[in-house]
Amino acid sequence: MKRITIITGHYGSGKTNLAVNLAVKAAAEGKKAAIVDLDLVNPYFRTADFKELFEEKGIRMIAPDFANSNLDVPSIQFDVEQLAVSEDCLIIDVGGDDDGAVALGRYSEALLPFNQDIDMLYVVNQRRFFTASANEAIELMYQIENASRMKHTAVVNNTNLGDETTLDIIRQSADFAGKVAAKTGLPLAFTTCPEELCGEISDPDVFPVRVYVKPLWAV
């Protein structure tokens, strides 16, 4: 994983859960990690919801002003250049779709000097209604790039159905994820798998994830 990892994708694709897992993994490896909650659109399922977890793991969190309050104002201020230099691992969790990517565009110029040390991962989930086909997922990817004024470097297959995820669901998504990667000319970085299922998969390109982000009724 490069020093800066930017996570984008469709609403509900699992971006935030992936971002949390990457931050926790980096901290477990002894890296000085920080995570920026750049989701200024969706007030639910955000990295800001995991403040206690991040404090426990020694992960620095930068969240929107008034996050998790009844004054949920879409405003965030942070020095991306300072963070990029001071942290071993900086993860930026971007809001869903092109609407959320507009906020990332504000920092595109500041991130330009670090271009060689950035991974911008496009998270796809075939089980989301508006990205069920490769062409739909690709169209959204280009919309995100236009809004953010940045280019993706890889695709992540995060196909799941929450608690109803099975190995068959993950395996059946391989063709979909492969088409997205092939048609965009991007590598498929990895496929995620709930950690409780990963023991049945020997593929080295599978990334075990813990499900931190859950529906409110499941908390």
pLDDT tens, residue by residue, 190-203: 999 999 998 777 77
What residue type is 18 in one-letter code? L
Whole-number Cα distances in Å, 99 to 71, 140, 143: 20, 11, 9
Those residues with Cβ within 8 angstroms of residue 84's Cβ, 6 or more apart along the chain or in another chain? 3, 4, 90, 111, 114, 117
Is pLDDT at 133 greater than 50 in this prediction?
yes
Is pLDDT at 219 greater than 60 in this prediction?
no
**HEC per residue, 57-82:** HCCEEECCCCCCCCCCCCCCCCCHHH
**CATH number of the structural domain spanning residue 63:** 3.40.50.300
Per-position b or e across 33-48, b if 16+ CB within 10 A of its CB: bbbbbbbbbbeebbbb
How many helices (H) and strands (E) would you count in the chain?
Answer: 8, 8
Nearest to 123 by CA among 146, 93, 87, 102: 93
Tell me if 140 sits within 8 A of 87, measured CB to CB.
no
Domain encompassing residue 189: 4-218
Highest-confidence range of 62-71, 78-87, 119-128, by mean pLDDT? 119-128
Read off the pLDDT of residues 138-190 as tens digits, 9 standing for 90 and up: 999 999 999 999 999 999 999 999 889 999 999 999 999 999 999 999 999 99
Task: Report how many domains make up the chain.
Answer: 1
Kindly report the pTM of this predicted structure. 0.91
Highest-confidence range of 59-63, 82-86, 167-171, by mean pLDDT? 167-171
**What pLDDT is attached to residue 47?**
63
Question: Which helix or strand (DSSP H or E) is residue 218 part of?
Answer: none
Q: φ and ψ at 75, to 5 degrees?
A: -145, 135
DSSP 95: P
CB atoms within 10 A of CB 112: 11
Residues 116-138 have a mean pLDDT of 96
Alpha-helix residue ranges (DSSP H) falling in 58-166: 80-86, 97-105, 108-111, 134-148
Q: Which residue has the higher pLDDT, 84 or 44?
A: 84
**What pLDDT is attached to residue 1?**
75
